[in-house]
Every structure is written in structure tokens, then in C-alpha cells.
Amino acid sequence: METKNAENATINHPVVTSEDLVKHWQGHRSLTRRVIEAFPEKELYEFSIGGMRPFAELVMEMITIAHPGIVGVATGKWEQLDHGTAPKTKEGLLELWDKTTEQIDTYWPQISPQRFQETDVAFGQYENQIYASLFYFIDNEIHHRGQGYVYLRALGVTPPPFWER
């Protein structure tokens, strides 16, 4: 129900472009990678506060949202969510992280411009506009990474600065 003027204004001046959004996401993912690296190997898999999951499990949640997520966003074909089991070493986890980074870069250009405002049922479960699902993937990573920062501080490890991407 926008006026013609408002409509033109929106059309000529996007708030954020597709390229902005993938750079934003990959910037966050680059920081999360450094947070994974900052964990001592044992504590990555075992350390926990207040009954929460160890950071390796939170990372598996991020990975298993991001990869089938980007496929669903780009193609409309969604798998069921399954957070799987983390690779047994930090090196293995980082390899899986890097593979996911490549998959995002591969699929992103396949997202058609009109797709971002379409409504779809992410993972066959969560009905939302595509941009909102993408925001959810990113926000969920920031949320759990923030928890990882507390784990690191509790372990006496200085985490990488939040503003470095």
C-alpha cells in the first residue's frame, strides 16, 4: 500500500544489495572461524556453562543451517534440519567450515533477485520471506558465537575483536 513516490524511492535506492548481504554473512563467518581457532581443542568439544552445548556443537548447528540453507534459498529445495555429529578434531571442523564457505559462494549467485522477498518454508518447517530466513541464519550464528565468547573468557582466552570481519 505504498504511494507511487515511496515505491519509486525504494526501487531506485535499495537498502542493501544481494552482494552486500553475502559479504556481510561471509564477514561474520570469517570471524566465527577465528573464534573456533581460538578454542583449545579439548575445550572446543567439552567446555560448557549452565548445561549449554559445547562450542563444537553450536558450530555444527551453524554449518548444518548454512549449507542446506543456501541450497534451499537458491533452489527452493530444502532438506530437513539435521545438526549431525561434529568432526572429531578442530582441524576437521575447520575443513567443514571452509567447505561451507565455498558452497555459499557457489550458490549465492544463483539466487534470483526477486527471490529475496518471496515466502518459502525453510527446511520444510519455517515459513518466512527468504531475506528473513537469511537474516535468521546470520543472527543465529552471531547469537551462538556470542556464547562462545563467554566460554573463551571463562577459559581465560581473549577472543578476536567482534568488529573485525
1 binds a second copy (CB under 8 A): no
Nearest approach, Cβ of residue 64 and a second copy (Å):
16
| The CA-based dihedral angle spanning residues 12, 76, 92, 165, taken in that order and rounded to the nearest 10 degrees | 10
- Calpha distance 29→130 (Å, rounded): 19
Per CB under 8 A, the list member of 3, 11, 42, 164 interacting with a second copy is 11
Q: Is residue 161 part of the contact set for a second copy (CB under 8 A)? A: no
Burial label for 125, CB within 10 Å (0-12, 13-18, 19+), is exposed
C-alpha cell at 127: 515459513
User: Does 15 help bind a second copy (rule: CB under 8 A)?
Assistant: yes
- Residue from the set 113, 125, 161, 164 that interacts with a second copy by CB under 8 A: 113
Task: Check residue 135 for interaction with a second copy (CB under 8 A).
Answer: yes
The response to whether 83 counts as a known ligand-binding position is: no
CB atoms within 10 A of CB 85: 9
* Interface with a second copy (CB under 8 A), residue from 41, 95, 98, 153: 153
